Chain A
Amino acid sequence: MTAYLKLDHIDKIFTRGAATTEVLKDINLTIEKGQYVSIIGHSGCGKSTLLNIIAGLTTATTGGVLLENREVNSPGPDRAVVFQNHSLLPWLTVYENVKLGVDKVFARTKTRAERDAWVMHNLNLVQMAHARDKRPSEISGGMKQRVGIARALAMEPKVLLLDEPFGALDALTRAHLQDSVMALHQKLGNTILMITHDVDEAVLLSDRIVMMTNGPSARIGEVLEVPLARPRKRLELATNTTYLKCRQRVLEFLYERHRFVEAA
Chain B
Amino acid sequence: MNMPATKIEVETATPAAVAAPVVAMRPKRPPRSEAYARMARETAVRVIPPLVVLALLTLVWELVCRRAGSALPPPSKVFKDTKELILDPFFDHGGIDKGLFWHLSASLQRVALGYSLSAIAGIALGVLVGQSVWAMRGLDPLFQVLRTIPPLAWLPLSLAAFRDGQPSAIFVIFITSIWPIIINTAVGVRNIPQDYRNVAAVVQLNPLEFFSKIMIPAAAPYIFTGLRIGIGLSWLAIVAAEMLIGGVGIGFFIWDAWNSSHISEIVLALFYVGIVGFVLDRLIAGLGKVVTRGTATS
Contacts and interface: CB of A to CB of B under 8 A. Distances in A.
Interface size class of B (residues with CB under 8 A): 20 to 34
A131 B196 contact: no
A81 B298 contact: no
Contacts of B217: 89, 91
B258 to A, nearest CB: 49
Given A90-B295, A143-B22, A56 B201 contact: yes
Contact of B195 (A85, A130, A135): A85
A180 to B, nearest CB: 7
A127 interface: yes
Contacts of B295: 90-91, 135, 137
A57 B19 contact: no
B108 to A, nearest CB: 31
Contacts of A77: 202-204
Interface string B1-42: 000000000000101100101101000000000000000000
Interface residues of A, number: 35
Contact of A104 (B22, B205, B214): B205
Contact of B203 (A74, A100, A130, A135): A100
A248 interface: no
A101 B218 CA distance: 18
B202 A81 contact: yes
Interface in B90-107: none
Contacts of A244: none
A165 interface: no
Nearest to B23: A130
Interface string A87-116: 101110000000011001100000000000
Interface string A161-178: 000000000000001100
11 contacts: A55-B202, A75-B198, A77-B202, A104-B205, A127-B21, A143-B22, A155-B202, A179-B16, A180-B19, A233-B16, A234-B16
